[in-house]
């Protein structure tokens, strides 16, 4: 690879560590919430046109894929998780692409954005990632349904923070959205934010179960008003997870909130994003709607497990012109 190509990759794919002031939240403003409307047909038209209009090739495509790796929350959330599986996942987070491939691409020091596990696996993940700077995220609050008693959901957050989780992915009570009980949703999210302390909180909306894009937009706004550091589409366990229309609605809510308050809130699409080309499309949407500042792991994450394997295959094709078998790039 020529030097100018390496410079292109390094410039586009480099991910300097930046840290925003945390979103402190604000008082619930129901007038602002109820003023939120969504033109569904316009949203769908905008998203349908994006993949064809924003296609990057060759070195630029490789750079976007490397950037995507740096923003993956590498995840294992299975009932048969073991400490050995989590340690292997953490090893993959530390070295997501082979050193040889990274050298050929002019890169070094690339890691994933975080590792996401259940509470029982936090201590294993923290030990495996010691000294790397890669945060451990834990799902909480009765994940994925969020239907356990409220005091237990709060206690689960506190226990996960005590165990070493630096990020907490909470699930909201969908019934508050479906019944338009915005005060209850705000109070719940505020309590979760308080329980997290210094750990950053990602609010999972489970958008496939909220009924409409307008509900998604209003729930996004409520969670940000209550102090969410990130808003996230899905648990990955619903029948419909991350989609481009849902993402457009949520990131426009983030943009509006930033214009009102001056605080930037992160975004995390999760569930169903398994192909490199889809990841690049999501990044293009973020760039167009929110700008380059959101293309950093402190403000954007992919919730994924199989995405990394496909990105590796695409990078190898970029370097060699050949596709390898998927099982050569196991992530765990």
Active site residue 169: yes
- pLDDT value, residue 113: 96
Strand order in the sheet with 72-75: 266-268, 230-232, 200-204, 167-171, 136-139, 114-117, 72-75, 302-304
Q: Please, are residues 301 and 71 in contact by the beta-carbon 8 Å criterion?
A: yes
Q: Whole-angstrom Cα distance, residue 36 to residue 256?
A: 10
The overall longest dimension of the chain from CA atoms, in Å, is 59
248 neighbors 285 (Cβ within 8 angstroms): yes
For residue 329, pLDDT over 60 is answered with yes
268 is catalytic: yes
CATH topology classification for 3-11+30-322: TIM Barrel (3.20.20)
3-class SS shares of the chain: helix, strand, coil, % to 5:
50, 10, 40
Catalytic residue among 73, 202, 268, 310: 268
Q: Is 1 helix (H, G, I), strand (E, B) or coil?
A: coil
* Entry pTM: 0.93
Going from N- to C-terminal start, the domains of the chain cover 3-11+30-322
Please tell me which residue in 229, 232, 278, 298 is annotated as part of the active site: 232
Catalytic pick from 59, 73, 92, 169?
Answer: 169
Which pLDDT tens digit goes with each residue over 21-34? 999 999 999 999 99
The whole-angstrom separation of Cα 218 and Cα 221 is: 5
pLDDT number for residue 58: 86
């Amino acid at each position: 690879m020529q030097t100018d190509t390496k410079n292109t990759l390094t410039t586009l794919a480099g991910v300097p560590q930046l840290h925003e002031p945390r979103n402190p939240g604000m008082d619930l403003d129901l007038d602002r919430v109820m003023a939120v409307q969504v033109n569904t047909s316009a949203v769908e038209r905008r998203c349908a046109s994006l993949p064809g209009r924003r296609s990057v090739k060759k070195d630029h495509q490789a750079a976007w894929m490397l950037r995507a790796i740096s923003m993956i929350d590498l995840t294992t959330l299975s009932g048969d998780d073991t400490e050995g599986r989590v340690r292997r996942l953490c090893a993959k987070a530390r070295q997501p692409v082979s050193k040889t491939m990274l050298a050929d691409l002019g890169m070094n020091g690339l890691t994933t954005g975080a590792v996401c596990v259940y509470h029982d696996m936090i201590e294993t993940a923290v030990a495996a990632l010691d000294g790397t700077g890669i945060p451990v995220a834990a799902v909480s609050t009765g994940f994925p349904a969020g239907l356990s008693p409220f005091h237990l959901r709060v206690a689960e957050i506190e226990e996960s923070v005590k165990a070493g989780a630096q990020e907490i992915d909470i699930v909201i009570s969908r019934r508050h959205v479906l019944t338009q009980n915005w005060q209850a949703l705000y109070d719940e999210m505020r309590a979760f934010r308080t329980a997290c302390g210094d750990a950053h909180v990602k609010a999972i909306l489970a958008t496939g179960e909220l009924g409409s894009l307008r509900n998604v937009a209003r729930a996004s706004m409520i969670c940000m008003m209550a102090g969410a550091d990130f808003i996230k589409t899905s648990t990955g366990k619903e029948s419909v997870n991350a989609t481009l229309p849902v993402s457009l609605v949520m990131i426009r809510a983030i943009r509006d909130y930033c214009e009102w308050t001056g605080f930037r809130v992160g975004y995390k699409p999760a569930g169903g994003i398994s192909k490199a080309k889809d990841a690049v499309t999501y990044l293009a949407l973020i760039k167009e709607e929110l700008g380059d500042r959101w293309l950093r792991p402190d403000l954007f994450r992919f919730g994924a497990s199989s995405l990394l394997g496909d990105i590796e295959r695409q990078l190898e094709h970029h370097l060699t012109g050949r596709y390898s078998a998927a099982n050569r790039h196991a992530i765990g």
